[in-house]
Amino acid sequence: MNESVERLPVVLVHGGLYDDPPMTGEVFWGDSGVVDALRDRGVEVVVHQRPATPRSWADERAALATTIRASGHDRIAVVAGSNGCSVALRLLLDTPALVVRTMLCWPATPGDTVIDDLARVIIVETHDDEVATGLLEGRPVRGVVPADLGTITSDVVIHPSMPENKVHKRTTVTELMQALGSALLVGGSPEPPDPGFAAHRDGFADLVAAFAEVHPDD
């Protein structure tokens, strides 16, 4: 890996949605070894901690924007995992000037009755059914609709879950590719904190380091 290459700082956005215990950036990106692997490759990393009990994806987007602004960088790349992909896409739609490019990793699939019914129960314990509906609705991922995604003009790449599973289906990747139009499909691996991710960690870190490289047209 050539550490003399200029790279954008990378903001990592973890997965999870009303998990018990709550998913954190440290567990998702730190314990999985991604943070250390990226820093070993000369990538400056900012780990965003998503709100544990947000009322909306707008709340999530605002929190991510705050993290980016607090980092002191005016040009960054975002790498988001699982339900964090919804946050990254809301940022692209609502505050696009903050991001140069975005990588959507293991995008979470909405609409599964069993998964959504359980999530609704957990969300309603903290808020109400209206909040739960707002957080769970959307396509091809929660919090967005295809017509909105067609307006995104910045670079987006997608790293799918391989093998696919009930939470991260290949159909979600296909729908994202169709809605975004010009997104690039790259690699594939199990998602952290799945133990299967360990064998793919270094390859994933290489991919993110290359993704963060500054190009003349950036």
What digits encode the pLDDT tens for the residues 109-138?
A: 999 999 999 999 999 999 999 999 999 999
d(CA 2, CA 22): 37
The owner of tokens 């949605």 is 17
pLDDT (mean) for 151-168: 96
Rg of the Cα trace of the chain? Answer: 16
SS3 content of the chain, % helix, strand, coil (to 5): 45, 15, 40
In CATH terms, the fold of domain 10-211 is: Rossmann fold (3.40.50)
Confidence of residue 4 (pLDDT cuts 50, 70, 90): confident
Judged against a pLDDT cut of 70, whether residue 218 lies above it is answered with no
The 3-class SS string of 13-53 reads ECCCCCCCCCCCHHHHHHCCCHHHHHHHCCCCEEEECCCCC
User: pTM (2 decimals)?
Assistant: 0.96
**22-142-70-123 Cα dihedral, nearest 10 degrees:** -40
Per-domain residue ranges for the chain? Answer: 10-211
pLDDT tens-digit readout, 39-70 = 999 999 999 999 999 999 999 999 999 999 99
Give the lowest-confidence range in 13-22, 151-160, 178-187, 208-217: 208-217
Local structure of 166: helix, strand or coil: coil
The angle formed by the CA atoms of residues 44, 187 and 81, to the nearest 5 degrees, is 55
pLDDT (mean) for 188-200: 96
Judged against a pLDDT cut of 90, whether residue 12 lies above it is answered with yes
d(CA 142, CA 17): 11
pLDDT number for residue 3:
54
